[in-house]
Every structure is written in structure tokens, then in C-alpha cells.
Amino acid sequence: MWSHRQVPETDTPVTPPNADRGTPVGRRVVLGMVALGAVGVAAGKWLSQGVSDVVASTAPALADVLPAAGGFRIYTVTPGYPEMDRATYRLAVTGLVDKELSLSLDDLAQLPQTGMTKDFQCVTGWRVEEVPWSGVLLKDVLAAAGVESGATALRFTSFDGAYTESLTLDQGMRPDVLVATQMLGGPIQEQHGAPVRLYVAPMYGYKSLKWLGGIEVSNKVTPGYWEERGYDVDAWIGQSNGRSDDPNV
């Protein structure tokens, strides 16, 4: 179960230049809308159709009511969420590797497991603090495949068929970049990218690709979905531009 919580009042530095878009999430709260929070999970299905601000605006009041309040806004650039059977799920690791891999969830569970509790920050201004994550460090997945010399970049694809992301190999080797199989204390929920998503702790949320299907090792960074639409490829929190008019970032 998840619900919504607003970015703390003290959080101003991360507000992107398009502040009109980024800041109002919980500021134009209408208390009468709190009841909407009760259908938050169902509403998540509709966020891509423009209801996100309404749902998110219930946040402050709900946070008082629900002790384990979440605060995530659910984003998807495709209609609904892509379906995936946990038994047939495979993560493809391809490109400049010694051995291409096709990893089942069991295979991922055999690799070293790493957990971390860290904030999740969207470039539009909302943040969820101290989210528990666990799974396999991206560098451990890459080590299992063996990265060839000359490789410099990583490309990530989602089995939603539309969303992509990128990192440099150096960024991907950091100890705070995770191929996450658990989030918020349990298996990743459907709306958060089940069964596997990326979690790139030091960067804005758009780097944390959901419904991860493939990792391709290459020698050239290919800008991801939002990066083709104006966002920085290097999305360090607090440093990158956050430029866009799109409400779904």
C-alpha cells in the first residue's frame, strides 16, 4: 500500500527552473480531495492521463493519517503498466561483455545482495526520504557478464517498450546504483516497476528506469527517453537542469 507525502517545506534547492510545474504538487491542496487518497492505488493507473497533480495534492493530509506514508508519484510513459510474469522474467545483459546473460529472478537472487536506505528525488521537486531498496548492485551484474575493455557506456531498456535510460560505465559502477528487486520492504510493486527496476541513488528519478528488461554495454552514451526531450544526461541531484514542460517527469 502506498500513498502520498509532500516534499518537505525546507526543500527548495532542487526546484527546477520550470518551477511553475515542479513546486505546486502539494501546495494547492484542497482538503476535500483527501478522500481520493483512499483510491490511490487505482488512481495510479490513471496518472499518465493527467490526474497526477490531483492525487498528489492529497499528500500532506494523508501523511498525518497513514504512518507509513509513501509519497511517490507514479509515472509511466505508456498506457497503464506492462505485465510481467515473475517466472518468465529475464534481464538481458548484452553488448560489450564476455558472456551475454539472460537472468531470471532466481539468477538475480543468486548474485550478491545489497541493500540501502536512501531518498528518491524527482527532478520536478518531490522527494521521498529514506526509502529501503535492495537487489544486486549494477556493478555485480556487470561483473557476472564480464565487461570488455573499451566499454564506456550503458543503455537500459524497459519492457514497457518505450522508456530507455543511460549511464556512463563509471557511473554504473558506483556502489549506490542498484538493479533493484525490492523496494519499500517488499518485492517491487507493479506501479513501481515490477519485478525489477533500476535505482540510481545520486541522480534524479528519471534515471531509475522501471520494468527493467535489458542492459546493453557499449562505447557510446545513448541519451534516454527524457534526455532526448531536454533533460541532462548527467542527472546529478542538485546540479542538472530539470528543463521540461512535461508533467510526467
Ligand X SMILES: Nc1nc2c(c(=O)[nH]1)N[C@H]1C(S)=C(S)[C@@H](COP(=O)(O)O)O[C@H]1N2
Which residues bind to Mo ion, rule: CB under 5 A? 122, 205-206, 249
- Could you say which of 74, 93, 178, 221 contacts ligand X (CB under 6 A)? 74
Quick one: which segment of 53-61, 67-75, 107-115, 170-178 binds ligand X (CB under 6 A)?
Answer: 67-75
Positions 185 through 244 that interact with ligand X (CB under 6 A)? 192, 205-206, 208-211
DSSP designation for 147: B
Q: Which residues pair with 186 in a beta bridge?
A: 183
Positions 99 through 128 that interact with ligand X (CB under 6 A)? 122
The Cα-based distances of 246 to 26, 49, 170, 234 in angstroms read: 17, 12, 29, 19
Is 163 a binder of ligand X (CB under 6 A)? yes
Quick one: which segment of 9-17, 72-80, 88-96, 166-174 binds ligand X (CB under 6 A)?
Answer: 72-80
When CB distances are held under 5 to 8 angstroms depending on the partner's kind, the choice from ligand X, Mo ion, none that residue 211 binds is: ligand X
- CA torsion, points 98, 104, 107, 109, in degrees to nearest 10? 130
Is 160 a binder of ligand X (CB under 6 A)? yes
Cα angle: 174, vertex 178, 179; to 5 degrees = 135
When CB distances are held under 5 to 8 angstroms depending on the partner's kind, the choice from Mo ion, ligand X, none that residue 2 binds is: none
- Please state whether beta strands 197-200 and 164-168 pair in parallel, antiparallel, or not at all (unpaired): unpaired
| Cβ–Cβ under 8 Å, residues 232 and 16 | no
Q: Give CA–CA dist 247/227, Å, rounded.
A: 15
Residues of this chain that interact with ligand X (CB under 6 A) are 72-77, 122, 158, 160, 163, 192, 205-206, 208-211, 249
